Structure 1
Amino acid sequence: MATQDGVRRRDFINIAAVSAAGVGGLATLVPLISQMAPSKDVLAESTTELDISAIEPGQAVKAVFRKQPVFVRNLTPQEIAAADAVPVSSLRDPQSLEERTKEGRSNILVTMGVCTHLGCVPLGAAEGENKGEFGGYFCPCHGSHYDTAGRIRKGPAPTNLLVPEYEFTSDTTILIG
């Protein structure tokens, strides 16, 4: 039998088999990949919006972000001056207050409320709590002292309190995450 021009039966079967395998592969991969996406309740907790209008200078509030505490503190001019007066080179984890706050809003400090030593929640955000030797936060578990800028000053904690990603959505509202 002479070869014919165009698509032969064998070529058609090969193309059909490869196409069916490709569709079957996609039908298998799509559910496997989509199940790795975060669920709606996780996406809902991925950001926290907080109204900071009620925080008076010198006060701090606790909020929750991704099931962990967050401290938002409205620093007084005296606290800002005290934080700026500390030589950055003398700190264990050198960071200035300017690096830890948003430009033009150096009075609002947002930090995770988790000690960087072993994960305890430091005191100092609520009224009347022990603020430590430097007027910021004190971790009662192992004695770490943080200053008003959330920088480690004394104790076993290796680094400053973490500053999460956040932005000001208005003059009185921040979006963490």
Structure 2
Amino acid sequence: MAMEHLAPALTRLLGGRAESRGRPQGSSRRPSSTVSSPLVRVLEVPVACGHPPVQRALFCRPRPPGPARPDARSRIVPVAHAAPVTGIHQKSLMHTSAVVRDAPQVPDFSKYEAKDPSTNRGLAYLMIGSLGLLSASAAKSTVTEFLATMSASADVLAMAKVELELSSIPEGKNVIIKWRGKPVFIRHRTQSEIEEARSTDWKSLRDPESDEARTKKPEWLVMLGVCTHLGCVPIGEAGDYGGWFCPCHGSHYDISGRIRKGPAPLNLEVPQYDINEVDNKMVIG
């Protein structure tokens, strides 16, 4: 739109130039009724440049400073609306973006491909199977080492079972051994003690349990020497019932280790044990 408005104004100005050529040099110039506006230098460019007068005024390169050439005459004329002259001739384009390829040309790798597809399949199966085998071995090793840290130590395993010669314990005597950090009472009972233990009405006791259920052989009584009240160690062959007595809080146990009097709620615990009659040995644990 700016070019269309400038075209009539420049045409009139250029037409008035031709009229002023016949005037004498001293004649006064008719004042122009054009409003004050920016000045541009309009050059007479040969028609060979191919630009219309308006584009020639706005885009053609001006004459460099110096003495005027006979074939290039110029004068200053006012223009109502004109863009500043930059001195650089530029051609208007739709856009200046260069064509960029999305990806470079991919080389041909066909000569590296396998001739038989089954070869690649077999290699893939081999790699997958090998990786699975290695993963399984690593997982097994990790789990085994983790479980080994949770197992009992060597000293605990050594104390897991205790073997005792029964012939070393005389009849009517007690033996105290250590098993898993706890005292174990082993008594070789007499026949009178066996009859006394089995003649008691065990159903009326605080923790009812028969003597037959507490012993594997009547003459051998095996118990943990820990009071069921607060974990003290009772004294053997003491108390009101001829068995064991806890001096801490006054718990009384009979000759079968059953609670008969005092604050203890349960009988003395019987651990797991076996008697080897052939070797006459007892194995606790």
Specify if TM > 0.5: yes
The aligned counterpart of 2:192 is: 78
The AA in structure 1 aligned to 2:185 is F
Alignment pair present for 1:41 and 2:155: yes
Offset of residue 3 of structure 1: 8.3
The AA in structure 2 aligned to 1:4 is P
Q: Pick one of 110, 113, 117 that aligns with 1:4.
A: 117
Query: Distance in 2 between the 1:6 and 1:157 partners?
Result: 79
Q: Greater RCO between the two (CA within 8 Å, min separation 6)?
A: 1
The aligned counterpart of 1:128 is: none
Change (3 A) 1:11 1:145: same
Query: Distance in 2 between the 1:92 and 1:20 partners?
Result: 61
Query: Distance in 1 between the 2:267 and 2:166 partners?
Result: 23
Change (3 A) 1:57 1:11: closer
The aligned counterpart of 1:123 is: 235
Pairs aligned (count) = 170
Q: Which is richer in helix?
A: 2
Gaps of 5+ in 2: 1-112
Q: List per-residue Cα deviations over 1:10-30 (Å, max 9, x = no partner).
A: 444433333332222223222
Judge which range, 142-151 or 81-90, deviates more: 81-90
Q: What pairs up with 1:18-37 in 2 under 5 angstroms?
A: 18-37=132-151
Offset of residue 91 of structure 1: 1.1
Query: Distance in 1 between the 2:276 and 2:241 partners?
Result: 31
Q: Pick one of 234, 238, 248 that aligns with 1:141.
A: 248
Q: Which is richer in strand?
A: 1
Offset of residue 152 of structure 1: 0.6
Q: TM-score, normalised by structure 1?
A: 0.85
Q: Pick one of 79, 90, 94 that aligns with 2:208.
A: 94
The aligned counterpart of 1:173 is: 281
Alignment pair present for 1:63 and 2:171: no
Offset of residue 133 of structure 1: 0.6
Q: Pick one of 151, 154, 164 that aligns with 2:258.
A: 151
Offset of residue 122 of structure 1: 0.2
Change (3 A) 1:6 1:134: farther
CA RMSD of aligned residues (A): 2.1
The aligned counterpart of 2:5 is: none
Gaps of 5+ in 1: 126-130
The AA in structure 1 aligned to 2:256 is A
Offset of residue 6 of structure 1: 6.6
Judge which range, 25-34 or 12-21, deviates more: 12-21
SS at match of 1:153: strand
Q: List per-residue Cα deviations over 1:111-167 (Å, max 9, x = no partner).
A: 111111111000015xxxxx1111100011111100000001111111111111111
